[in-house]
A and B are shown apart, each in its own frame.
Chain A
Amino acid sequence: MRRVLHMVRKELIQVFRDVNMLRVIFVVPMIQLFVLGYAITTDVKNLKILVCDRDNSSISRGLVDRFSYTEYFIVDREACAGGNVEKRLFDGDAVLALVIPGDFAHDMDRQARPEIQILIDGQNSNTAAVALGYCNRILLEFIRDSLAAGNLRFKRSVRFIEPVSRAWYNPELKSVYYMIPGIISVILTIVTMLLTSLAIVKEREIGTLDQLMVTPLEPWQIIAGKTIPFALLGFLEMGVAMTFGVLWFKVPVAGSLVLLAALSAVFIMTTLSLGIFISTLVDTQQQALFAAWFILVTCILLSGFFYPISNMPQWVRVITLANPLRYFIEILRELFLKGAGLSVLWPEILSLGAIGLTVFVMATARFRTRVWE
């Protein structure tokens, strides 16, 4: 054990001596957390909507006002000269337009069912879907309220089913609550997996790995010595990121911190093993970076970080079962927001543990054969 401590001390001296490295470890992730926390939102806000109101009655203006009162849209009242709206969409001035026909109020009143047109640039299918959802919602609410207020004449009175909606665990439906646990997992993966593989490959490049191999250090001691410091850094990083997330983004942490720490340890063991594994596949730091990056991007894409796994096609969902990040993100989200415990999270914990153990065994076996060929 004493020998491992010497390795750990040496590694920590090296990390803390390199100012650039420290920036990479601590400053960069904070920037990521900050930027991603704000930028990754699947929500739509402040979207410019071209409104062409050919009716210009008090009713149609009331409808347009409803669009301008929301935070989703910024209304740009548009002259409706022929083809102008289409032209502006084609030019990319806006991605959304609303066309209210002439005699809209009158037609509605005499139940002629006037047609409201929504034109949307479908390039960004996500934005389009979400924006369309909001448009429909505003229109529905407008119609409901008009009916309720008796603004429209009808033969029979209409009875309303009025939903009272509540979102639990996140009443304001902030997507940042959903994203922060994901971002923390990703940052943790970068620090542990990437830095470990780079640190091992660097020793191989400069020849000190051979020097270590001729000393009485056992391969497991070298592995422990190279990984423990990054595990510690990972924990530190996680603490800093969580503090930032809680204090700045006000993400609630409802679950047990002890459980969080224990599960993070399992996850970190997995990512460190991946780092060792990468180091046995490559010869240079550049290749290590590429390989680590490739694995990282694959894991992020297939983790449900941005998009729900349930939306993926069957064959992709099968692949995600082998992705440790998928389980850890799920664990963090449930633990942060809902305060989930062992009784709920055990399937994820078992899967994560199994993957971690497999990767660990594979990585150490490869490390041994790689150094004693």
Chain B
Amino acid sequence: MTQPDAGNETNARGKKASGHDYAVTVRDLTRMFGEFVAVDNVSFDVKRGEIFGFLGANGAGKTTTIKMLTGLLRPTSGTGTVDGLDISNDRRAIKSRIGYMSQRFSLYDDLKVEENLFFFGGVYGMDRDSVEARVSELDDMLSLSGLENRMTASLPPGHKQRLALACAILHRPPVLFLDEPTGGVDPVARRYFWDLISTIASDGTTVFVTTHYMDEAEYCHRLSIMHAGRIVEVDSPARIKEKHGMTSIQDVFIKLVDG
């Protein structure tokens, strides 16, 4: 992967904004839907510039956690910070400091590619010129040029996924949340996408990513395994495998979840 020129700049910015070592901290976070406990007393920290993986089966509570961190859901109890800001009280301030891409690649299908980009850029307060500049800067990575006038609906899933990612990082967020970003995409495109994530992280952006693909877990710097609303393991993939004496994350996962 080629390093974009803006890499250093982003890096510098990330450091300037920080002043603290953690991009995300979570303490005793709980969310209930009626009687059902979706997220149960979860605590963890994510370091700056880290790719932090959230691994779990469907319904384990990954999406609920991400929604609480991004301000889409109110925590039932517990606290958390994103980029040093409190998730319950500083929701407004958090929003301009994060990027979010959901499993549904939530784009407007009936807008053209560039219209989607201009729209989401505009929402983050960017004018057309700075969106264009940023898109051409990201183009090495995302290869979306030539598609500007295509209808989003007509794009193949891999392109849609990259467009959704572009929309999420236009405004250079220090923290990027990706909720199962590779669903419905073929293995080649998935591989390519994880390369992109690594590039983005190497620029200093913290990437918080959920997945249920075990092979993807290996790309993460650190990994937390979630089961039935609880975190059952947090560590780097190598240490997790070592601790449980197994050769693949998949085996560890099955052991933790079934056991």
Contacts and interface: CB of A to CB of B under 8 A. Distances in A.
Nearest to A209: B106
Contact of B98 (A208, A212, A214, A217): A214
A6 B70 CA distance: 22
B96 A10 contact: no
A366 to B, nearest CB: 15
Given A6-B122, A212-B123, A218 B92 contact: yes
A214 B122 contact: no
B104 interface: yes
A2 B118 CA distance: 13
Contact of A206 (B72, B91, B104, B120): B104
Contacts of B159: none
Contacts of A212: 123
Interface in B79-98: 91-92, 95-96, 98
Interface residues of B, number: 29
B92 A206 contact: no
Nearest to B123: A215
A14 interface: yes
B167 to A, nearest CB: 8
B74 interface: yes
5 contacts: A6-B122, A9-B119, A13-B115, A216-B96, A216-B123
B110 A213 contact: no
Interface in A175-229: 206-208, 210-218
Interface of B: 67, 70-74, 91-92, 95-96, 98, 100, 102, 104, 106-111, 115, 118-120, 122-125, 177
A248 interface: no
A211 B71 CA distance: 11
A207 B123 contact: no
Contacts of B111: 10, 13-14, 17
Judged by DSSP, the binding face of B is loop
Interface in A1-42: 2-3, 5-7, 9-10, 13-14, 17-18
B119 A10 contact: yes
Contacts of A210: 67, 72, 102, 106
Contact of A216 (B115, B119, B124): B124
In terms of DSSP, what is the predominant structure of the interface of chain A?
A: helix
**Interface-centre pick from A7, A214, A218 (highest chain B CB count, 10 A):** A214
A160 interface: no
B37 to A, nearest CB: 16
B115 A208 contact: no
Contact of B74 (A5, A14, A372): A372
Interface residues of A, number: 26
A373 B68 CA distance: 10
Please provide the 6 A-B residue pairs with the shortest distance between their CB atoms, ordered closest to farther: A6-B122, A207-B106, A211-B106, A207-B104, A214-B100, A216-B96
B92 A211 contact: no
B178 to A, nearest CB: 12
A371 B73 CA distance: 8
A349 to B, nearest CB: 37
Contacts of B106: 206-208, 210-211
Contacts of B109: 206
A216 B110 contact: no
Contact of B72 (A5, A6, A213, A218): A213
Q: Identify the interface centre among B67, B72, B115, B125: most chain A CB within 10 Å of its CB.
A: B72
A17 B122 CA distance: 20
Contact of A10 (B70, B73, B104, B108): B108
A13 B108 CA distance: 11
B100 to A, nearest CB: 4
B63 to A, nearest CB: 10
Interface string A283-323: 00000000000000000000000000000000000000000
B110 A18 contact: yes
Given A3-B122, A207-B104, A216-B125, 19 more contacts: A7-B123, A10-B108, A10-B111, A14-B108, A14-B111, A17-B110, A206-B109, A207-B102, A207-B106, A210-B67, A210-B72, A210-B102, A212-B123, A213-B72, A214-B95, A215-B96, A215-B124, A217-B123, A373-B73
